[in-house]
Amino acid sequence: EGEINYGEAVEHTITGIEPGAGISVTTEKAIEEYDSLSGWEVNLSSTAAMASELDKAIKDEEPIIITGWNPHWTFAKYPDMKYLDDPKGIYGTEEVIKTIARQGLKEEKPNAYKLVDQFKWDVKDMESIMYESQETGDDIEAVAKRWVENNQDKISEWTKGVEEVDGESFELVSTPWDSERSSAFVMKAVMEKLGYDVTVTPVDVAVVFESIANGDGDATLAAWMPVTHKDFYDKYSDQFEDLGANLEGAKIGLVVPSYMDIESIEDLEP
């Protein structure tokens, strides 16, 4: 009985998500940097396809290596998952999710600016919306609205000193993942109660940064830093305003089911 060669077992393929995701770009870097990943590929398709591959593998106790992140409902549905150690630090250690605003927002829409600047919540808040949507089958938007009704203490912190408006428009630019749909639809529900006319636009990460930089979008709550979206952030960093973290304790990396007898990216084989 020899050790399993996981490289061969997964055909030297990491099961990835959308090509436009930060974690996809980071994984290409990991493949370049680690000798153990030499000759490997990341299969980029969609989060839904990754989730269904993962589901299949876990049912059959087959090996699989995915690009994973927290907050995400995967870890609630499959608690026996682990991040592979990343001794080269390609995926960083701890990520935060930042709010960034277009230049001029503070002067033009001071109340909306104040609100997005004061928006701050926890991993467990965001996760509760994602889990509830997974469990009930209700859309994130509906669950986010309920969450706002049930968490007025938090909402009153965010809205401190924020005055109501009369139909002012606000464009919130977001990415298509459940995590970011949760924050965007929570913010939309809060803003609508204050009289805003809010549009949530889900786009690729590159377009999120581009549209805040060129002023088409007012703000985003979806910037994962310091690693995940670094390339996009750096490209436009002098063309937007960074309002800081709205959520701390996020993480990205290569993730495997715990039944796999492997701890580190360096344990993989070319």
Task: Please say which residue, 22 or 63, places its beta carbon nearer to ligand PBE.
Answer: 22
Tokens 């996760």: give the residue.
Answer: 127
- Residue of 101, 252, 255, 260 interacting with ligand PBE (CB under 6 A): 252
**Is residue 69 a contact residue for ligand PBE (CB under 6 A)?**
yes
The C-alpha angle 78, 84, 89, rounded to 5 degrees, equals 135
Query: Which span (4-12, 83-91, 143-151, 177-185) binds ligand PBE, by CB under 6 A?
Result: 177-185
| Binding of residue 209 to ligand PBE (CB under 6 A) | no
State yes or no: residue 16 binds ligand PBE (CB under 6 A): no
Read off the tokens for 43: 């299969």
Partners of 100 in the β-ladder: 220, 242
CB neighbours of residue 117 within 10 Å: 19
Nearer to ligand PBE, 110 or 226 (CB): 226
CB nearer ligand PBE, residue 14 or residue 155: 14
The reply on whether position 185 binds ligand PBE by CB under 6 A is no
Query: Are the C-beta atoms of 222 and 80 separated by less than 8 Å?
Result: no
CA 12 → CA 3, 60, 131, distances in Å?
Answer: 16, 19, 31
- Report if residue 73 touches ligand PBE, rule: CB under 6 A: no
Please report the DSSP string for 178-232 in residue order. Answer: HHHHHHHHHHHHHHHHTT-EEEEEE--HHHHHHHHHTTSSSEEEEEEETTTTHHH
Reference 200, options 172, 222, 227; nearest CA is 172
SS3 254: strand
- If one asks whether residue 220 binds ligand PBE (CB under 6 A), the answer comes out as no
177 is an interface residue for ligand PBE by CB under 6 A:
yes
Residue 159 corresponds to which amino acid? Answer: T
User: Looking at 51-59, 121-129, 156-164, 176-184, which segment touches ligand PBE (CB under 6 A)?
Assistant: 176-184
Decide if residue 22 touches ligand PBE (CB under 6 A).
yes
Stretch binding ligand PBE (CB under 6 A), from 16-24, 125-133, 212-220, 257-265: 16-24
**57 contributes a contact to ligand PBE by CB under 6 A:** no
- Backbone angle region of 161, left / alpha / beta, with phi > 0 → left and psi within -120 to 50 → alpha: left
Smallest distance from ligand PBE to CB 22, Å: 3
> Taking the CA of residue 57 as centre, how many other CA atoms within 13 Å lie in the half-sphere pointing to its CB?
23
Among 179, 183, 220, 246, binds ligand PBE (CB under 6 A): 179
Binding residues vs ligand PBE (CB under 6 A): 17, 21-23, 69, 175, 177, 179-180, 205, 224, 228, 252
